[in-house]
Amino acid sequence: MARSNEPIWWSLFSAGGVVAAFFVPVTIVVTAIAVPAGWISDENLYLLLQQPLVRLYLFILISLPLFHWAHRFRYVVADLGFRGGGRLPEIVCYGTAILGTVLAACFLALG
């Protein structure tokens, strides 16, 4: 019943929205406050970032929120009056999210 491929993007948007809602605020607290304030040592932070589960966490926090941004932003662009682009906003937005996902996978698996 694939009348439209929209469910793919909408489910990625939803998953990204859930991940962003639950995990992004506290992660910002860690990267923006805890680390600069020295509540975790640079050494321990580095070791933490080498853990596979932490890398997986980072991958999810990069990829899914990017798809959340992509889907929502594509509609915001239209809502703000820029409707003439045809499928360009979709291609740019989802393309960026896909690119970000691929890059994140490379960096986190190989870095």
Partner 1 sequence: MAANENSQPESTIELEVFRYRPEQEEEPTFQTYEVPYREDWVILDALNYIKDEIDGTLTYRWSCRMGVCGSCGMMVNGEPKLTCAAFLRDYHPATIRVEPLSYFPVIRDLVINMEGFLDKLTEVKAWLVPEEEKPVSEGEYLQTPAELAKYKQFSMCINCMLCYSACPVYGHHEDFLGPAAIALAQRYNLDSRDGGADERAEAIFSHEGIWDCTFVGDCTRVCPKNVDPAGAIQQAKVTATKDFYRSVLVPWGK
Partner 2 sequence: MPADWWLKKRTYSLFMVRELTCVFVGGYSLVLLILASKIGDQQGVTAMLNSKTLSVLQLIALPMVIYHTVTWLNLTPKVLVLWRGEERVNPLLIAGIHYVAWIAVSIVILCVVFGYG
- Does the footprint of partner 1 cover residue 8 (CB under 8 A)? yes
13, 67 Cβ separation under 8 angstroms: yes
3-11, 24-32, 84-92 -> range binding partner 2 (CB under 8 A): 24-32
Smallest gap from Cβ 80 to partner 2, in A, equals 6
DSSP state of 38: T
Query: What is the distance between the alpha carbons of residues 47 and 17, in angstroms, rounded to a whole number?
Result: 29
Query: What is the distance between the alpha carbons of residues 40 and 5, in angstroms, rounded to a whole number?
Result: 44
- Does the footprint of partner 1 cover residue 37 (CB under 8 A)? no
Strand, helix or coil for residue 4 = coil
**Which positions touch partner 2 (CB under 8 A)?**
16-18, 20-36, 39-50, 55, 58-59, 61-63, 65-66, 68-70, 72-73, 75-76, 79-81, 100, 103-104, 107-108, 111
